[in-house]
């Protein structure tokens, strides 16, 4: 059916994006078309005012002056309104923008079919109607229903013009046929261009989805779904730069599962992988939205805590340690614990030194009997990051 479009097969998340794309396309083209319409209407207006054709009737000139003057005013109002909306801080919903565009199209249709009425009265010409339906089918990106309503409105007004002209001019059957033929051609053009536009939109959506997938795969660990070590270095470096600019410190938490090799040896690597996945879920649920969790390597994980001092990181790490200690991991018949080292950023601190301090705290926790959190104090030393 004509009203059935590819839009109905789009997922709900893409409908707003499609509407936004349509509005951007339409506003861009309508702005250019309105400027051209104002320019051409001004030329035609000047012609009928200062250079009338020989033998041109006064009522003929007045009718065209009114139509072209109205088109100039309508075009200027649209251009100014678009500029005001673009500069205002108020964000209009996309559906409001679309309805404003449709209102403008209906008004344009009225005036161009009015131009057709004048043409019919004096020259039996359908050029105004042809301009309307070609413009609607080729320049404007809209759904099948919207196009049918606007173009059907123009066709209805054309036939209404035929009836109004009939007492003065002998309307022939060919004029009705011509209106239908031009309307049918506009339908064909619309369907063709609409299909191309929708196909291009879907291709772009697919490409964007593939790019996001590639970015996700390059930044995440396939086993746990956490960010990987490469992405961790990028984020830590960004946080270091931000910390230097703002003067706010941050902390990192480096943790390691205790006796993980025994888990693999006793229960198998499949169970070991499931334990790592469950630990990843615990870490994700235990941190704030602003925190980031990374798989550092093997059974080691790192947590970035922006705007957090070492004392705050210690408290959060202790809560995580208790959760892991009391969590019933799948397939294990004994408790599993973690050891944690903490480091806090400081002035002129490097990424390597920060990780080294956290790793040293982790090593100390292992050495002291595991299942504990160790923070060796403030990492940064003013003017230097050398170890004491």
From residue 318, how far is each of 49, 277, 328, 337, 341 by CA, in Å? 87, 20, 18, 12, 11
**DSSP label of 53:** P
- Separation CA 3–CA 146 (nearest Å): 9
pLDDT computed for residue 276 by the predictor: 95
Question: 299 and 329 in one domain?
Answer: yes
Question: 241 and 157 in one domain?
Answer: no
Question: 110 and 53 in one domain?
Answer: yes
- Could you report the average pLDDT of every consecutive run of 10 residues in the chain (388 residues)? 46 72 79 85 83 65 82 88 76 77 81 77 74 80 83 83 73 80 88 84 74 66 89 91 87 95 92 94 92 92 94 94 93 91 88 92 94 78 32
Question: 317 and 188 in one domain?
Answer: no
Residue 132 lies in a domain: yes
- Maximum CA extent, the chain: 109
Residue 347 lies in a domain: yes
Question: 159 and 50 in one domain?
Answer: yes
CA 152 to chain centre: 33
- Our count of domains for the chain comes to 2
Question: 242 and 199 in one domain?
Answer: no
pLDDT computed for residue 173 by the predictor: 79
Beta strands at 338-344 and 251-257: parallel, antiparallel or unpaired: antiparallel
pLDDT computed for residue 57 by the predictor: 62
374: three-class secondary structure by DSSP: strand
Residue 387 lies in a domain: no
Residue 220 lies in a domain: no
pLDDT computed for residue 386 by the predictor: 34
- Output the six-digit token pair for 61: 């000139």
pLDDT computed for residue 56 by the predictor: 57
pLDDT computed for residue 65 by the predictor: 84
Domain range for 31 is 6-215
């Amino acid at each position: 059916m004509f009203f059935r479009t590819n839009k109905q097969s789009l997922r709900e998340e893409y409908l707003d994006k499609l509407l936004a794309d349509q509005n951007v396309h339409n506003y861009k083209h309508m702005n250019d078309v309105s400027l051209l319409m104002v320019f051409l209407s001004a030329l035609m207006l000047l012609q009928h005012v200062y250079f009338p054709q020989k033998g041109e009737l006064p009522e003929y000139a007045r009718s065209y002056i009114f139509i072209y003057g109205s088109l100039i005013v309508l075009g200027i109002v649209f251009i100014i309104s678009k500029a005001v909306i673009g500069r205002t801080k108020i964000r209009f919903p996309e559906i409001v923008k679309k309805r404003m565009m449709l209102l403008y199209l209906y008004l344009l249709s009225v005036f161009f079919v009015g131009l057709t009425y004048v043409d019919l009265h004096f020259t039996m010409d359908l050029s105004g109607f042809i301009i309307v339906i070609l413009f609607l089918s080729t320049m404007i990106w809209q759904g099948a229903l919207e196009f049918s309503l606007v173009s059907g409105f123009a066709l209805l007004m054309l036939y209404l013009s035929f009836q109004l002209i009939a007492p003065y001019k002998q309307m022939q059957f060919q004029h009705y046929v011509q209106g239908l033929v031009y309307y049918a051609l506009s339908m064909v053009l619309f369907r063709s261009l609409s299909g191309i536009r929708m196909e291009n939109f879907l291709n772009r959506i697919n490409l964007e989805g593939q790019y996001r997938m590639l970015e996700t795969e390059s930044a995440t660990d396939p086993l746990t779904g956490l960010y990987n070590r490469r992405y961790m270095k990028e984020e830590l470096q960004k946080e270091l730069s931000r910390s230097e600019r703002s003067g706010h410190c941050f902390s990192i938490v480096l943790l390691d599962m205790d006796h993980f090799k025994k888990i693999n040896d006793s229960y198998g690597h499949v169970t070991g992988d499931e334990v790592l996945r469950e630990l990843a879920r615990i870490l994700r649920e235990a941190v704030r939205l602003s925190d980031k969790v990374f798989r550092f390597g093997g059974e080691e994980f790192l947590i970035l805590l922006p705007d957090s001092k070492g004392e705050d990181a210690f408290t959060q790490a202790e809560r995580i340690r208790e959760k892991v200690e009391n969590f019933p991991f799948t397939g294990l018949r004994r408790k599993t614990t973690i050891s944690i080292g903490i480091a806090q950023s400081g002035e002129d601190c490097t990424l390597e030194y920060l990780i080294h301090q956290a790793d040293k705290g982790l090593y100390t926790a292992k050495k002291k009997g595991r299942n504990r959190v160790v923070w060796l104090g403030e990492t940064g030393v003013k003017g230097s990051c050398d170890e004491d």
